[in-house]
Amino acid sequence: MQTDVIVVGTGLAGLVATTELVRAGKTVTLVEQEPENSLGGQAFWSFGGLFLVDSPEQRRMGIRDSTALAWQDWQGSAGFDRDVDAWPRRWAEGYVDFAAGEKRAWLRSLGVRFFPVVGWAERGGYLASGHGNSVPRFHIVWGTGPTLVEAFAAQVRDAAASGQVKLAFRHQVDELVLSGPAVTGVRGSILERSKVSRGVPSSRVVVGEFDFSAESVVVASGGMGGNVDLVRRNWPKRLGSAPKHMLSGVPAHVDGRMLHIAQAAGGQLINSDRMWHYTEGITNWDPIWPQHGIRILPGPSSLWLDARGRRLPAPLFPGFDTLGTLEYIMHTGFEHTWFVLTQKILEREFALSGSEQNPDLTGKSLRQLLKRLGPGAPAPVAAFTDHGADFVVAEELDDLVRQMNSLTAEPLLEANAVRQTLEARDREVANVFGKDLQIMAMRQARRYRGDKYVRVAKPHRLLDPKAGPLIGVKLNILTRKTLGGLHTNLHGQVLDAQGNIVPGLYAAGEVAGFGGGGMHGYRSLEGTFLGGCLYSGRRVGQAIAQIL
């Protein structure tokens, strides 16, 4: 099979690159190891959060943002400090400009709209030049991940119907074909047909072989988050020992195979020790893939305790510094932590990541959405409270601690010590002044209209019976994103170990660290993973169209 370009992977980056190539009149073979119902990859399961800068949504919410402020935040979070960070840094600068410029208008031209309340993710809590978003920038797609995917998937299906795109599902790439130093195609195994549902592991039984040729090959195969062995192999020493138990935030087919296949063809992998894993993972009571975990998207009010019941230090509050919290946890000698909260906090502040966990936003239902403002927890959250293995509920603190201890191999929590911690915190809430930085952060958050009315509970005592019952949530490490990857220039051309272009080979999305081999540096500001797929896919598609 011969086309102008081969794109490996039908996730968001691959779809975007394909649509750009189609628009330029190029022919594309789209190769994917999973069944057709996996079109869109991980983006389908996403909450649909996108990082935008100085948007109309921000301005309507009273948020003053700018490219300069966003770039300051990005640099403070990324911490670029390696020689190989030259291209990643340039990709990061380009991405911030993209988020402040054409990104929103381009998506709107494709029919994408946004929920009017802008979220405040990764709040940081450090100095002005440190990690975190100085202002809310997390824009939720109205319709979440599936709607964003469909904006590009529909174009690809139309191009396939006209013959400009050839779809090759159940084709697993095993090697990149070289003609001298240039990549000129892909070769691999045809897998047996599979009717499994999206996200469920599919068969790896081989029924044939294939060999496709093209002038250019784009690797857009995603990261390694579904391969816990590979995650552990690349785990950085700065984060402590790799966890023995991890939940998986992505399907099993997110296995990192193409990283090393591209490396075997001459591409350089950089920043493989930079990764993004969450610390608020809970076991999915209704799992789709192995070790399926869901991330809690917490507001700032839950009390965060380590495995022995000690509060995490400032500013490691819920929603402030994901990797700072992960590093702290992995040096405690234990892999789990706890949220202790009230029913009032649960109802206002608990959201769950994922399109399937937010049927109101995903289904674009205003009627369902308005129920979030009423009494009771959102239905998906309530389901975890009722069925989740990591949730316990009690009217009295002693009973809560007893139940929390029942969820671990040994009883590490001492009820009197936990009570003293809660009472100390509650004394601070009772005063309009105080020194507890978490309570100060809660009050600061409620100065923002979006947090006050839909996201952050009114500060109250955790031991106030009127706010109860009390809830304890055991939190696990949850795999998610690869921040390093294939080293690329600004055209997405893959570079070798000497910094030279590997002719014919490009990379986009997570497999390229979302651009350059790691445009996030060490940390993300959130909303930048989907956005990184959009930006790198668009840039690579446009570059190839100009070069061919």
Angle at Cα 71 formed by Cα 119 and Cα 523, nearest 5°? 65
Render pLDDT for 262-302 as a digit per residue (tens, 0 to 9).
999 999 999 999 999 999 999 999 999 999 999 999 999 99
* H/E stretch holding 324: helix 322-330
pLDDT tops 80 at residue 1: no
* Residue type (1 letter), 64: R
Q: Helix 86-100 to helix 529-547 angle, to the nearest 10 degrees?
A: 100
Please, are residues 4 and 27 in contact by the beta-carbon 8 Å criterion?
yes
The whole-number pLDDT of residue 2 equals: 92
Please, are residues 525 and 93 in contact by the beta-carbon 8 Å criterion?
no
3-state secondary structure of 215: strand
The whole-number pLDDT of residue 372 equals: 87
Summarize the confidence of residues 139-146 as an average pLDDT: 98
Render pLDDT for 173-222 as a digit per residue (tens, 0 to 9).
999 999 999 999 999 999 999 999 999 999 999 999 999 999 999 999 99
3-state secondary structure of 428: helix
Cis peptide before 35 (omega within 30 of 0): no
DSSP calls for 5-20: EEEE--BHHHHHHHHH
DSSP calls for 262-289: HHHTTPPEE-TT-EEEEEEEEE-SS-SS
Please identify which residue in the block is written with the tokens 């061919």.
548
Q: What is the Cα–Cα distance from 418 to 421, expressed in whole angstroms?
A: 5
* H/E stretch holding 35: none
Residue-wise over 171-195: b if at least 16 C-beta within 10 A, else e? Answer: bbbeebbbeeebbbbbebbbbeebe
Q: How far is CA 544 from CA 3, 102, 401, 505, 538, in A?
A: 13, 20, 59, 10, 10
Residue (of 357, 403, 346, 355) closest to 380 by Cα position? 357
Summarize the confidence of residues 430-452 as an average pLDDT: 95
For the chain, what is the mean pLDDT? Answer: 97
The whole-number pLDDT of residue 370 equals: 87
Q: What is the Cα–Cα distance from 209 to 81, expressed in whole angstroms?
A: 44
The whole-number pLDDT of residue 227 equals: 96
Contacts of 491 (CB under 8 A, 6+ apart): 506, 539, 540, 543, 544, 547
Binning pLDDT at 50, 70 and 90, where does residue 160 land? very high
Residue-wise over 403-437: b if at least 16 C-beta within 10 A, else e? Answer: ebbebeeeeebebeebeebbeebbebbeeeeeebe
Q: Could you tell me the pTM of the whole model?
A: 0.97
Summarize the confidence of residues 46-65 as an average pLDDT: 98
The whole-number pLDDT of residue 373 equals: 81
DSSP 82: S
Please, are residues 1 and 213 in contact by the beta-carbon 8 Å criterion?
yes
Q: What is the Cα–Cα distance from 117 to 112, expressed in whole angstroms?
A: 16
Length of the chain: 548
Give the residues across from 11 on adjacent strands: 40
Q: What is the Cα–Cα distance from 79 to 268, expressed in whole angstroms?
A: 21
Residue 529 neighbours by CB distance under 10 Å: 25
> Could you tell me the two tokens for 303?
């009390």
The whole-number pLDDT of residue 158 equals: 98
pLDDT tops 90 at residue 162: yes
Render pLDDT for 349-375 as a digit per residue (tens, 0 to 9).
999 999 999 999 999 999 998 888 888
pLDDT tops 90 at residue 399: yes
Q: What is the Cα–Cα distance from 217 to 390, expressed in whole angstroms?
A: 44
Summarize the confidence of residues 476-489 as an average pLDDT: 97
Q: What is the Cα–Cα distance from 363 to 315, expressed in whole angstroms?
A: 36
